[in-house]
Structure 1
Amino acid sequence: MPTGHALHDVAPERRGPAVAQRQQQGLAAWAQLSRSLAEPELVAQVDAAGTALLDALVDGGTLLVAGNGGSAAIASHVAAEFIGKCILDRAPLPAVNLAESLSSITAVANDYAYDETFARGIGALGRPGDVLLAMSTSGASRNILRALEVAKEQDMLTIVLTGSQGSGLAGRADHVLVVPSTETPRIQEAHMLWTHVWCEAVDVVCQ
């Protein structure tokens, strides 16, 4: 793996074309992906998961969100949208990003195992009727799989967002939503689309 490579070492004539190429590839991928995301079966699955999430929050449940890396950032974004608002002002709703506390993550990883980083938080905070929204682009993140196990033991509603490599997650959560892509950036962008849709729906219903 290359190390110590500085951006200023890249020849200027390579920089602009690289950006243009990636933009065109991204746009082409999204044009294709948008058609796949609009397939009726997948739309119905996303609607069902969002409705279950909304019902749980309206009934007083708390949303716990978990993800690694870029998905952890999305988890933070999602929790902020529910505590604050997305498009319309409304009362705050309880939502927690389980990766928000670096102290908790490192303590659990050091004292137990990294697989337990989210499971311990769910054990501490999760209650029957609450919701775990978990994200794993690969579908193989061991701490996410362990989190789903604990959430089910706690009688929580479980929703997992993944990519096409995570189709084997079927049966591990109440709702398994698969982005039909193997590209991590596109998968995470689709996860943001779905969670924004749910946040917008919450804002409208909770007026």
Structure 2
Amino acid sequence: MKIINPQDYIANYIKAQSEVDYSEVVNAVELIRKTWIAGHKIIAFGNGGSALNVQHFMNDWVKSSFVNKNIPFNGVSLVDNVGLLSAYANDFSYEEVFLMQLKAILAPGDIIIAVSGSGSSENVIKAVEFANERKNKVISLTGFNGGSLIKLSNFAVHFPLNDMQMTEDFHLQFGHIVMKSLFE
């Protein structure tokens, strides 16, 4: 077992952060703000660590918007209902667990936040394609080369590093940037 050098981890992270297009971050935050104020849904989803980041986002955003601004935040995480996820996976396929939920709730003016470290998760891609067909705006959070998701997004918040853990670190920072920008 090799213990990594924490300074190297942080140095690599900082180097990758310097290559991020921060105008996409600002544009994504502004789209979330406009959607929130208009009362539309902000719907987010992802797999694995990305799913947990989505849960963290919604926890922070929904609570902070009401507690700090007294304005309800219509945030929806498609990863929270295990029964619904497993029903769609069983009755259709895992590739359709987010698509089927979107078909039931996506309305005009709602936005999508699709989180995929690789940018290639099939269930995320299918849901984003549906949102695009419906003309809903899509924010993606990706890493690595962005996969096909980066090309399907209106705003692509891309962390250009081939490291899943650092990508997930950056995505969590995005969630905190949204929270501090809108709700403090």
Output the TM-score relative to the length of structure 1. 0.81
1:55/1:90 Cα in 2 relative to 1: closer, same or farther (>3 Å)? Answer: same
Match of 2:56 among 55, 77, 86: 77
Alignment of 1:65-144 (within 5 A): 65-85=44-64, 89-91=68-70, 92-144=72-124
The higher-RCO structure (CA 8 Å, 6+ apart) is: 2
Q: Does 1:52 align with 2:31?
A: yes
Alpha-carbon distance in structure 2 between the residues aligned to 1:170 and 1:36: 16
Q: Secondary structure at the match of 2:101?
A: helix
Structure 2 unaligned residues grouped into runs of 5+: none
Alpha-carbon distance in structure 2 between the residues aligned to 1:101 and 1:156: 23
Match of 1:29 among 6, 9, 12: 12
Counterpart of 2:164 in structure 1 is: 184
Q: Is the 8 A contact 1:136 1:144 kept in 2?
A: yes
Q: Is the 8 A contact 2:47 2:116 kept in 1?
A: yes
Deviations 1:152-193 (A, max 9, x none): 233322111101322543431211221011100111111111
The one-letter code sitting in structure 2 at the alignment partner of 1:160 is: S
The one-letter code sitting in structure 2 at the alignment partner of 1:61 is: H
Question: Moved runs in structure 1, 4+ residues, more than 6 A?
Answer: none
Alpha-carbon distance in structure 2 between the residues aligned to 1:84 and 1:153: 31
Q: Secondary structure at the match of 1:89?
A: helix
Q: Is the 8 A contact 1:163 1:179 kept in 2?
A: yes
Q: Secondary structure at the match of 1:51?
A: helix
Q: Does 1:155 align with 2:161?
A: no
**Identity of aligned pairs, percent?**
25
Output the TM-score relative to the length of structure 2. 0.91
Rg larger for:
1
Q: Does 1:202 align with 2:182?
A: yes
C-alpha RMSD over aligned residues: 1.8
Deviations 1:51-76 (A, max 9, x none): 11211111111111101000000000
